[in-house]
Amino acid sequence: QLQLAESGGGLVQAGDSLRLACAASGSTASSHGMGWFRQAPGKEQELVPGVSWSGKSTYYAESVKGRSAISKDTAKNMAYLQINTLKVEDTAVYYCAASSLGGPRGPWDYWGQGTQVTVSS
């Protein structure tokens, strides 16, 4: 059973950069696809970026394309999300997820508890 724990959220200013981390435990995440979701109040949950188990295939939502990067560190059992040029509309709870099938777009079997990111203007 894979457990996921996010860290790195907080209050930042528009234009700043942020790096979120997802620590996997209980099993190895090396064979899993990893993804980051976010959910803002009153909005649907959105897959922001996803990466395949090999790291060779990625997906980015239009909302963050060109200013974000997802990565995996298999040796450390970690996944990361970097978002640059943050916008107020990036404010949300960010969740890390893992897919046993290994693709960058799920389906998602494991979820973290989430970390709040608040971007002030």
pLDDT at 27: 81
CA distance linking residue 47 with residue 104, whole number of Å: 10
Q: What is the pLDDT along the chain (121 residues), one digit of tens a residue?
A: 899 999 999 999 999 999 999 999 988 888 899 999 999 999 999 999 999 999 899 999 999 999 999 999 989 999 999 999 999 999 999 999 999 999 999 999 999 999 999 999 9
pLDDT at 23: 96
Distance from the Cα of residue 80 to its chain's centroid: 7
| DSSP states along 11-80 | EEETT--EEEEEEEESS--TTSEEEEEEE-TTS--EEEEEE-TTSS-EEE-TTTTTSEEEEEETTTTEEE
pLDDT at 30: 83
Closest CA to 54 of 37, 78, 27, 72: 72
